[in-house]
Copies of this chain bind each other. A is one copy, B any other.
Amino acid sequence: MIVFLNGQFVPEEQAVVSVFDRGFQFGDGLFETLRVYRGKPFRWADHLERLRRGAEFLKIKLPFREEELLRHALELIERNRMPESLLRISLSRGVGLRGYSPKGADRPTAVMTLHPAPDLTGPAPGWRLITASPRLPANEPLAQFKTCNKLPQILARAEADAAGANEALLLNTNGAAVEGGGSNLFWIEGSTVCTPPLASGILAGVTRLVVREICRKLSLPCREADITPAELFEAEGVFMSLSSRGVVEVVSLDGKDLKRSPLVEEIRTAYEEMAG
């Protein structure tokens, strides 16, 4: 496996960062995960836009121009012969002084790695969710970016693993159901597709945007709303969106069946046609 590291292509074993890198010390960085189809990263511009805005928010300077980074990404895919894969882009603030102040840390670390894509052949099985215990702070602007501070999501995912579930549902500090450990939440009310607002403390998911584009194409009304876990059982259908898998129907929450709507399959199929 070849890895892109600060402008160089290096073998996996040489893909290392200093223990003084603030990414390792404090999770002081951002990342993006993109699905690569036929050698091309899907929705590159949207992922890069989120990365750029996140870097601006954290005041980390992007060490490459977007076109440069894309050229390197395509070369990485080519060198590893992985036209169907997942591309992870990592950006950390690099090495700095001790302590939380970012002062003096002005040489960021940029990494790109490739990973096998999940196997999505065969019928799409619905996901079983459990409610996780970590709470996300509502109204936290930081949450919308894909930062390298993922312990709540890791703990949530570990709880899902332990329960034999596919994904964890996270609540925010107001008690609303807001997103999955690694996915955005949608539900259907009538023929309206609903999803929590960014202010509820969720990631501004790229696939969340794509789903809304699809809804416009299918003439399905779409709106942002709050919902409690209990209210999800009243919804006509529930699904999650994520870059690595697209649209995934949710069939149960905490062992209790959810209602299922044919609209979910319609949206899922439209996503596959657009992406795949």
Query: Which residues does A use to contact B, with CB under 8 Å?
Result: 3, 5, 12, 15-21, 23-29, 31, 58-59, 86, 88, 90, 92, 98-103, 111, 113, 115, 134-140, 142, 147-158, 161, 173, 181-182
Contacts and interface: CB of A to CB of B under 8 A. Distances in A.
25 contacts: A15-B19, A16-B16, A16-B18, A19-B113, A21-B24, A23-B24, A24-B92, A26-B27, A26-B153, A27-B149, A58-B151, A59-B158, A86-B98, A99-B157, A100-B150, A100-B156, A100-B182, A101-B154, A102-B161, A103-B161, A134-B140, A134-B142, A135-B140, A136-B137, A137-B137
**Does more than half of chain A's interface fall in helix, strand or loop, or is it mixed?**
mixed
Given A24-B24, A26-B27, A90-B19, A151 B161 contact: no
State how many copies of this chain the complex holds: 2
B181 A100 contact: yes
B111 A154 contact: no
Nearest to A173: B173
Given A19-B3, A90-B19, A135-B140, A154 B100 contact: yes
Contacts of A99: 157, 182
Given A100-B181, A100-B182, A138 B173 contact: yes
A254 to B, nearest CB: 19
Contacts of A58: 151, 154-155
Contacts of A21: 24
A142 B149 contact: no
A239 B101 CA distance: 20
A26 B100 contact: no
A111 B25 CA distance: 10
A157 B98 CA distance: 13
Given A24-B148, A25-B90, A26-B150, 5 more contacts: A16-B18, A28-B151, A101-B157, A135-B139, A142-B155
A67 to B, nearest CB: 23
A239 B154 CA distance: 34
A26 B148 contact: yes
Given A27-B150, A58-B155, A90-B19, A98 B111 contact: no
B181 A113 contact: no
B151 A26 contact: yes
Contacts of A28: 150-151, 154
Contact of A24 (B17, B86, B142): B17
